Chain A
Amino acid sequence: MEPSNRRGWPYYLLFLAVFILFPFSLFQYTKYILFLVNMTAIGVIGALGLNILTGYTGLISLGQAAFMGVGAYTVAILGTKVGLPMWINLPAAGIITTLVGIIVGTPSLRLKGFYLAMSTLAAEFLLEYVFKNWESMTQGVQGLFITPPRVFGIHINNDRVFYFLSVSLAVLGVIGARNLFRTNVGRAFIAIRDRDIAAELIGINVFKYKLVSFAISSFYAGVAGGLWCYYMTIINPEAFQLSISIDYVAMIIVGGMGTLFGSVYGAIFVVLLPEAIQRLMEVLQPVLHMEYTFAAFKQIVFGVIIVIFLVFEPKGLSEIFSRLGNRISNRKGKEAIQDGSLPGSRNTKG
């Protein structure tokens, strides 16, 4: 981000205007696009959480979906059985998930790398099992229904209303994460990722900060899960399976691990890619006549994208975009040099 934004404010105003006015447009596909944006916003929050844990602190987690599940069930249970309102439930979802996250994170003290990943994998399956079988709380595989709370008289799961809520929370999430990495806590995370033994030597309490990282990351996941619950109004254990956890890991890898906007780009990419493929396949429909090839194609493309990114651009979309950005600003710089207004000529004559 350029430091001097004084000349950028018209763009921000334009962006704000589009943001506020778009949901009211009469464009035929508005509802569908709002749906996609809402899903993406939830994904952004979840991906931010995962990025904090894995991208910035280096702790691999395959359990992000289960954490979201904890948040979602918290919201549903507090909403239906206890009858608490939304502005309590959503933060409560975050807090309860934080507690679960700290518990799950405790093995991380002794385990590293692959073994930590395995413990999160085990946590993923065990939490899913709890969702399926703690029937008195979660109603098991039947799932929980919630009546979406009303805001100004409109149900929260109305696409438009939810849009404002989810995108605002997503933006808050990004800002919060950005500020986190300007503090000591954030820097400690990065130190742990890069060289944790060295970090311990210079006085960082690695144990404590690993748990804090799990805590913060789970908070994000819990809020994302709570939002999911409000939007879908139905949650059941199937929504929080391993494949969703892997989607989140894919988000941060494709987007760029250890970068804030990486979470955003990654979430957009992973949410929109299947939709784009679906549309593409419908265009090709007359050629392929078996429907299951859609699902197969989606899977193959997803896998290919992951592999391509990891082989060619492991730093993800954020790296690609910033390189593009650099090239644009370099070009401006080059023009300036040739004009003679900047020193450093690349005159090869003579």
Chain B
Amino acid sequence: MDLLIQVLIAGITIGSIYSLIALGVVLIFKSSGVINFAQGSMVMVGAFITYALVVQFKLPILLSLALTFVISGLMGMVIERFVLRYLSGASLISVIMVTMGISYILDGGALATWGSSNFTYPKLFPSFSIQLGGVKVSSVYLWSFLTSMVLLVVFLFFFKYSKMGLSMRAAADNQKVAVVLGISARRVLSLTWIITSAVATAGGILLASISALHVNLSYIGLVVFPVVILGGLDSIPGAVVGGLIVGALEAIAGVYIAPYLGGAFQQVASFAFLLIILLIKPYGLFGTKEIERL
């Protein structure tokens, strides 16, 4: 029993990071119907930019954080303005591939700028840890959990009640009608990408604080797809809950199932789970079912 609790705690702590990153993917989908395969790369680049500002340019931490959010926001805007805008209404595979292309560019750019080594991430938060059921939970995980929850609440209210949020949902639902109603689809799209970049950066900083900083961090962009599907592509609470569940699941698979199935089952566990969800409930726990109209 003791072990199980430890496993669950370990899983939920990493799961909170998954939630954060999944949130970014859901945001983009909710506002534009685009599925962002470049989220992982944006996470990684955000972490690197902070690193560069704090360690290489030696700027004070708060200033660096602020600057990073500005830069990544700009990056998001550039992606939207120069690439995604031309693909509105394009086929799904084009959109998927274009975000993959962007992810290659970001990965390659990070590789060229910083190289392929592991970097020690600067301590951005007051570092302490608490003991929870025999697992030492460091402050990073607490921050990550907190950030996910805060963002969850913020975005829930944003999309339900604020004018901009409603405009975004309208634009995602039916762009033409939204334009007729006076919603600037372009502005909405730009804003969405800026917000998502910022969320990705936050996820990146937290992720790099937990593990080391390396260009491989972008791999997490793939791992969050089971999360997004479990939670529902367009559901923000789904992303958060899904992240925690998938994190716990991976931990359980890694500890209990791997000895029997051998190898590193942990990695595949979430995708096996993904397959099961797809067959039973493809729209996830909280997603809206798509109704196709001819």
> Which residues from chain A sit less than 8 Å from chain B, CB to CB?
54, 60, 107, 110-111, 113-115, 117-119, 121-123, 125-126, 129, 132-133, 195, 197-198, 242, 246, 249-250, 253, 257, 290, 292-293, 295-307, 310-311, 314
Contact = CB atoms under 8 A, between A and B. Distances in A.
Contact of B271 (A54, A122, A195, A303): A122
Among B35, B101, B279, the most chain A Cβ lie within 10 Å of the Cβ of B101
Given A117-B96, A306-B101, A107 B278 contact: yes
B62 interface: no
Contacts of A314: 90, 94
Contact of A307 (B105, B233, B263, B282): B105
30 contacts: A107-B275, A110-B279, A111-B282, A113-B92, A118-B225, A118-B229, A119-B275, A119-B278, A121-B274, A122-B271, A122-B272, A122-B274, A129-B265, A197-B294, A296-B112, A297-B112, A300-B105, A300-B108, A302-B104, A303-B101, A303-B103, A303-B107, A306-B98, A306-B101, A306-B104, A310-B87, A311-B83, A311-B86, A314-B90, A314-B94
Contact of A118 (B97, B112, B278): B278
Nearest to B107: A299
Interface in B256-294: 261-263, 265, 267-268, 271-272, 274-275, 278-279, 282, 292, 294
Contacts of B261: 133
B102 A303 contact: yes
Contacts of B5: none
A111 B278 CA distance: 8
A307 B100 CA distance: 9
Contact of A121 (B92, B107, B225): B225
Given A113-B92, A118-B225, A125-B267, 20 more contacts: A60-B92, A107-B278, A114-B35, A115-B229, A119-B275, A121-B222, A129-B263, A129-B267, A132-B263, A197-B294, A249-B93, A253-B93, A303-B100, A303-B104, A306-B97, A310-B94, A311-B83, A311-B86, A311-B87, A314-B94
Judged by DSSP, the binding face of B is helix
B109 interface: yes
Interface residues of B, number: 44
Interface of B: 35, 83, 86-87, 90, 92-94, 96-98, 100-109, 111-112, 115-116, 222, 225, 229, 233, 261-263, 265, 267-268, 271-272, 274-275, 278-279, 282, 292, 294
Contacts of B109: 296, 300
A343 B90 CA distance: 40
Given A125-B271, A311-B86, A115 B111 contact: no
Given A114-B35, A292-B115, A307-B105, A249 B97 contact: yes
Contact of B275 (A126, A132, A303): A126
B92 A307 contact: no
Nearest to B41: A303
Contacts of B268: 125-126, 129
